[in-house]
Structure 1
Amino acid sequence: MRAVLFDFGGVITTSPFEAFHRFERERGLPDAFIQGINRSNADDNAWARFERGELTAEAFDEAFAREARAAGHDVRGLEVVELVYGQVRPRMVQAVQRCRGRFITACLTNNFRNREALTAATDLASGTARDREWRDALALFDQVIESSKIGARKPEKAFFELACNRLSIEPAEAVFLDDLGTNLKPARLMGMRTIKVTDPDAALAELGNLLGMEL
């Protein structure tokens, strides 16, 4: 094993789905309403195009709102975007630190262009402190592979091919941690070892066993 690859949201940070569920309860929306929109036409909906860097924040805000209205409720895109920014998990950060030097470390993330503009657009009071925490975590990786910069997103095969090319590795030389099975499946089919992160402690125990080290 030469490389350890981590998803960001839901692995390095707490799961955005927790925030989605809170938002839905507070707004009186059906359970899993947001996930339902994002799963509909999953390769070409507003969320997918935004993650590939094909839409500006303003265009995404409108496109998502149209999809939400078509599903029966009024939700703006930028309202949902702000929910994805979870809290950094210290144990995951520690795991990255322990892997550094012994393995190639990379963050493979679906994200959005112009994080600062998004924060300003939603007037997030705690943005500065949280952004600093995120930057510190991301700085630990040898490389950060971002969907919005490479024009491909997980679970697209092209995303993983580009990641392997940038890291100069073969898929079989990597283990990949993600909280979504849909993202893990194509990586596994390419030859990567995969770990689904539902319980962070259990995932780190599995990773430690695979790497032969204490995490």
Structure 2
Amino acid sequence: MAIEAVIWDFGGVFTTSPFEAFARYEVERGAPKDLIRRVNTLNPDTNAWARFERSEIDAAAFDGLFLEESTALGHAVPGRDILPLLSGAVRPRMVAALAACKPLFKVGCITNNMRTEHSPGADAGQREAGDIRIGDILEMFDVVIESAKAGVRKPDPKIYLMMCEALRVEPRACVYLDDLGINCKPAAALGMKAIKVGDPDVALRELGEAVGLDFAAVAA
């Protein structure tokens, strides 16, 4: 089936990965390497991170629960320390690729986010990121689905199907980009062409092959 839609994650795709900020924090605080990622992968459907992204708890509860979870792993990290680490630097070439796709395909964004000023789409007052406004990027999409508003988060297949329904496309007519393999797997299982975004150059080459565009030219 021909590609009709390109669906994107936001953080780690249009912005640099928060994992880079997590690593710096751990070094600065003398915490074990990858501690924050370990906290987030324990009980991934019911931990503080997952519950906050579904808006089941507020920021104060997240602060305390994340502290409990990190302390159980041997190093106390308050949840309030994590939230500012979520705001990455914008990747202009990814934004240019989105702009190139928009006239030719339906474009959507599925983002796991939180109701804080540090999360894409969560607060209109926190939209500046260098020369490109986060709000301007979000406005380019035909549909944006935020976990904090939808009450469901990746990798639950429901959120991908919600996007397909909103865009009126079949999953096998979609390309999906995400920086996390765990989020790419359900997209692929549904029939989407899933692209894991690590090196942006590699991801753009794979996207170009999938949709028949040369992003080396349009996104230079």
- What runs of 5+ residues in structure 2 fail to find an aligned partner? 120-125, 216-220
For residues 115 and 137 of structure 2, what CA distance do their matches in structure 1 show? Answer: 18
Matched residue SS, 2:145: strand
**Change beyond 3 A, Cα 1:29–1:116:** closer
Q: Secondary structure at the match of 1:115?
A: coil
Task: Note the 1:12-31 alignment, pairs <5 A.
Answer: 12-31=14-33
**How many aligned positions are there?**
206
The superposition leaves residues 47-95 of structure 1 with CA deviations (integer Å, 9 ceiling, x where unpaired) of 0000111111111111111111222222111211211110110000000
Q: Residue 173 of structure 1 aligns with which residue?
A: 173
Aligned counterparts of 1:206 and 1:157: Cα–Cα separation in 2: 23
Partner of 1:104: 106
Q: CA RMSD in A?
A: 1.6
Q: How does 1:101-140 map to 2 (within 5 A)?
A: 101-115=103-117, 129-130=128-129, 133-140=133-140
Could you list the per-position Cα deviations for residues 118-156 of structure 1 after superposition, in whole angstroms to 9, with x for gaps in the alignment?
xxxxxxxxx563397211211111111111111111111
Tell whether 2:97 aligns with 1:95: yes
For residues 128 and 52 of structure 1, what CA distance do their matches in structure 2 show? Answer: 21
Preserved contact between residue 175 and residue 192 of structure 2 (Cα < 8 Å): yes
- Give, in whole Å, the separation in 1 of the partners of 2:76 and 2:51: 20
Show structure 1 runs of 5+ residues with no match: 118-126
Q: TM-score, normalised by structure 2?
A: 0.89
CA distance in 2, matches of 1:181, 1:99: 23
Report the identity percentage: 50
Q: Superposition pairs for residues 1-215 of structure 1, below 5 Å? A: 1-115=3-117, 129-130=128-129, 133-215=133-215
Letter of the 1:70 counterpart: A
Name the CA distance, whole Å, in 2 between partners of 1:141 and 1:22: 32
Q: Under a length normalisation based on structure 1, what TM-score does the superposition of the two structures give?
A: 0.91
- C-alpha distance in 1 between matches for 2:181 and 2:67: 27
Q: 1:116, CA displacement in angstroms? A: 7.1
Match in the other structure for 1:120 = none
**One-letter code aligned to 2:21:** A
CA distance 1:24–1:114, change in 2 (3 Å): closer
1:123 maps to what in 2?
none
CA distance in 1, matches of 2:6, 2:12: 16
Conservation of the 8 A alpha-carbon contact between 2:179 and 2:198: yes
CA distance in 2, matches of 1:150, 1:162: 9
Secondary structure class of the residue paired with 2:32: coil
Query: Is the deviation greater in 54-63 or in 20-29?
Result: 54-63
Which one has a larger percent helix, Structure 1 or Structure 2? Answer: 1
**Rounded Cα–Cα distance in structure 2 between residues aligned with 1:142 and 1:190:** 21
Distance, in Å, in 2 between the alignment partners of 1:172 and 1:128 is 33
**1:198 & 1:159 partners in 2: Cα distance?**
22
Q: Secondary structure at the match of 2:166?
A: helix
When structure 1 is superposed on structure 2, of 133-142 and 9-18 the one drifting more is: 133-142
